[in-house]
């Protein structure tokens, strides 16, 4: 007989724990592979955890109402197999957890502590490794080859749920050995300790209210946002630059095209995809903005993955990511933006859809604000703030000379990490975005 630890699966960045709401099985009960065995709830969504393979529930370790952390063992499953469970024979519980969980704006709190093997525990199990679920085979390869948790996060999984398979890690190792390139990523200790030090202490007296005020306890999502924002300010010396852009041509083009686009594509043509399109072009012109920092090393990202900050009905924030945005045409961007925004508000995002961003855009104009100074979404090094588009009188150049006309103007703000993005680079990059928006091709087709 072999025993498998059933652990609370990673459900996306920002989710570090879940409540056990109901066990669907009892100790001693036989279960089939993929049979739901327990219901769990986070502050965003309810879900179920399935059995990774057939067997008998030997022990339930967490009772209903308890709140285990991601990676904690919640039950022991006894199977008929023996020895190390090979990756091809075991589906990690992540694969079968319903892929509807949204996650908070990318937060270093989601970098989870790796469980250490007990020296006397000889039976291998599928465990969490830096926020990813890995089979014992893949985990052992990572340990043997000294692949750091952060480096492992960069390996793209090819399974249907994005999980890293044996072939994925072997191919990565082969390429790494042939090129000699090993990504230098921060260790979990380097990332998590600053957050732990920044946690506010709330006294018992603060939990009481009086007739003059009311104390509102932060929910888990708000706590994670707070931790992430404090951490970002501690890590990155923020500088913010501003530029005003005349987007009259873009506004007029969209006004002419939006009804036709809706009929043709069954999609609403908003301004957001146009902002993303211009940003992607500028990132290709200035690739050193599409980077992250590890100590004294700069990691240049080859993919352009745009995160778009989205407000939720609860008042919290989530950042779905458009992967490989530079490979999408305008129709593809519109479809992705609308789909991700809608599913974000309905709490139906998949964990993979809020991970891997390399640059973030936040739209202050949605709330009628003309500008703002955004906080960098770690580990990125810059974030673009979009202000409201406002009609104003402006001086324009004409063949007959300068004239005053009513134009559609907006303010763009760029907050950037001064460790690696100087004022010249940040200013030129921001101005390039404005140039793409101002010189919008009014004769283009959608």
Q: pLDDT band for 124, please (50, 70, 90 cuts).
A: very low
**Which among 229, 228, 320 is positioned nearest to 276, based on CA atoms?**
320
Q: pLDDT band for 405, please (50, 70, 90 cuts).
A: very high
- Distance, CA of 366 to CA of 369 (rounded, Å): 7
Last residue of a domain, one of 179, 205, 227: 179
The answer to whether residue 256 is domain-embedded is: yes
* The one catalytic residue among 30, 121, 418, 441: 418
- Three-state DSSP class for residue 160: coil
pLDDT tens digits for range 280-302:
999 999 999 999 999 899 999 99
Report DSSP letters for 9-65, one per residue: PP-STT--B-EEEEESS-TT-EE-TT-EEEEEE-SS-EEEEE-SSSEEEEEE-S-TT
Greater confidence, 393 or 101? 393
Q: Is the pLDDT of residue 81 over 90?
A: no
Please give the average per-residue pLDDT across 23-29, as a whole number.
93
* The one catalytic residue among 30, 121, 346, 422: 422
The answer to whether residue 214 is domain-embedded is: no
Q: Given this model, what pLDDT does residue 118 score? A: 37
Task: Report yes or no: 9 and 93 within 8 Å, Cβ to Cβ.
Answer: yes
Question: Is the full-model pTM beyond 0.85?
Answer: no
Task: Report yes or no: 384 and 414 within 8 Å, Cβ to Cβ.
Answer: yes
Helices 423-438 and 272-285, axial angle in degrees (round to 10): 130
Q: Given this model, what pLDDT does residue 133 score? A: 54
> For the chain, how long is the longest CA-to-CA vector?
89
Q: Given this model, what pLDDT does residue 117 score? A: 38
DSSP 387: P
Counting the structural domains of the chain, the total is 2
Q: Is the pLDDT of residue 129 over 50?
A: no
Q: pLDDT band for 42, please (50, 70, 90 cuts).
A: confident
DSSP 86: P
Q: pLDDT band for 27, please (50, 70, 90 cuts).
A: very high
pLDDT tens digits for range 225-272:
888 899 999 999 999 999 999 999 999 999 999 999 999 999 999 999
Task: Report yes or no: 386 and 415 within 8 Å, Cβ to Cβ.
Answer: no
- 281 with 134, same domain? no
Please give the average per-residue pLDDT across 411-440, as a whole number.
97
The answer to whether residue 190 is domain-embedded is: no
- Distance, CA of 441 to CA of 446 (rounded, Å): 11
> Tokens in use for 366?
């949605």
What is the CATH number for 16? 2.40.50.100
- 257 with 108, same domain? no
Give catalytic status of residue 346 as yes or no: no
Domain that holds residue 263: 236-438
- Distance, CA of 380 to CA of 208 (rounded, Å): 39
Q: Is the pLDDT of residue 199 over 60?
A: no
Give catalytic status of residue 228 as yes or no: no
Residue 403 CA: distances (Å) to CA of 10, 33, 395, 400, 407 = 59, 73, 6, 8, 12
- Three-state DSSP class for residue 325: helix
The answer to whether residue 195 is domain-embedded is: no
Let me know if 207 is exposed, middle or buried by CB neighbors in 10 A (0-12, 13-18, 19+).
exposed
- 136 with 269, same domain? no
Greater confidence, 248 or 354? 248
The answer to whether residue 219 is domain-embedded is: no
Q: Given this model, what pLDDT does residue 347 score? A: 81
What is the CATH number for 398? 3.30.559.10
Residue 320: count of CB within 10 angstroms of its CB = 25
């Amino acid at each position: 007989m072999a025993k498998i630890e059933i652990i609370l699966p990673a459900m996306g960045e920002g989710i570090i724990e879940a409540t056990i709401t109901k066990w669907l099985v009892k100790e001693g009960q036989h279960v089939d592979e993929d049979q739901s065995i327990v219901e769990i709830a986070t502050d965003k969504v309810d879900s179920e955890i399935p059995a990774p393979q057939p067997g008998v529930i030997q022990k339930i370790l967490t009772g209903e109402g308890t709140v285990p952390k991601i990676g904690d063992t919640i039950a022991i499953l006894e199977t008929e197999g023996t020895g190390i469970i090979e990756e091809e024979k075991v589906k990690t519980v992540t694969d079968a957890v319903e892929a509807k969980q949204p996650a908070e704006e990318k937060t270093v709190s989601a970098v989870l502590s790796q469980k250490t093997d007990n020296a006397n525990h000889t039976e291998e199990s599928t465990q969490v490794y830096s926020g990813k679920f890995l089979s014992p085979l893949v985990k052992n390869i990572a340990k043997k080859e000294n692949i750091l948790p952060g480096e492992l996060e960069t390996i793209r999984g090819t399974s249907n749920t994005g999980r890293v398979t044996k072939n994925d890690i072997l191919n990565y190792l082969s390429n790494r050995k042939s090129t000699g390139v090993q990504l230098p990523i921060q260790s979990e200790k380097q990332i998590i300790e600053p957050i732990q030090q920044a946690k506010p202490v709330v006294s018992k007296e603060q939990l009481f209210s009086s007739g003059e005020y009311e104390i509102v306890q932060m929910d888990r999502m708000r706590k994670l946002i707070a931790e992430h924002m404090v951490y970002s300010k501690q890590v990155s010396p923020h500088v913010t630059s501003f530029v005003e852009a005349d987007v009259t041509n873009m506004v007029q083009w969209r006004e002419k095209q939006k009804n036709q686009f809706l009929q043709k594509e069954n999609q609403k043509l908003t301004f957001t995809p146009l902002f993303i399109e211009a940003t992607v072009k500028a990132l290709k012109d200035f690739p050193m903005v599409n980077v992250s920092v590890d100590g004294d090393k700069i990691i240049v990202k080859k993919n352009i993955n745009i995160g778009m900050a989205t407000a939720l009905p609860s008042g919290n924030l989530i950042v779905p990511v458009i992967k490989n945005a530079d490979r999408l045409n305008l129709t593809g961007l519109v479809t992705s933006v609308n789909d991700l925004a809608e599913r974000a508000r309905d709490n139906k995002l998949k964990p993979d859809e809020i991970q891997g961003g390399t640059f973030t855009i936040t739209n202050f104009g949605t709330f009628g604000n003309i500008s703002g100074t955004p906080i960098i979404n770690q580990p990125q090094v810059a974030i673009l703030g979009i202000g409201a588009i406002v009609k104003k009188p402006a001086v324009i150049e004409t063949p007959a000379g300068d004239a005053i006309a009513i134009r559609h103007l907006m303010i763009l703000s760029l907050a950037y990490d001064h460790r690696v993005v100087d004022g010249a680079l940040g200013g030129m990059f921001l101005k390039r975005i404005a140039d793409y928006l101002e010189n919008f091709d009014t004769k283009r087709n959608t």
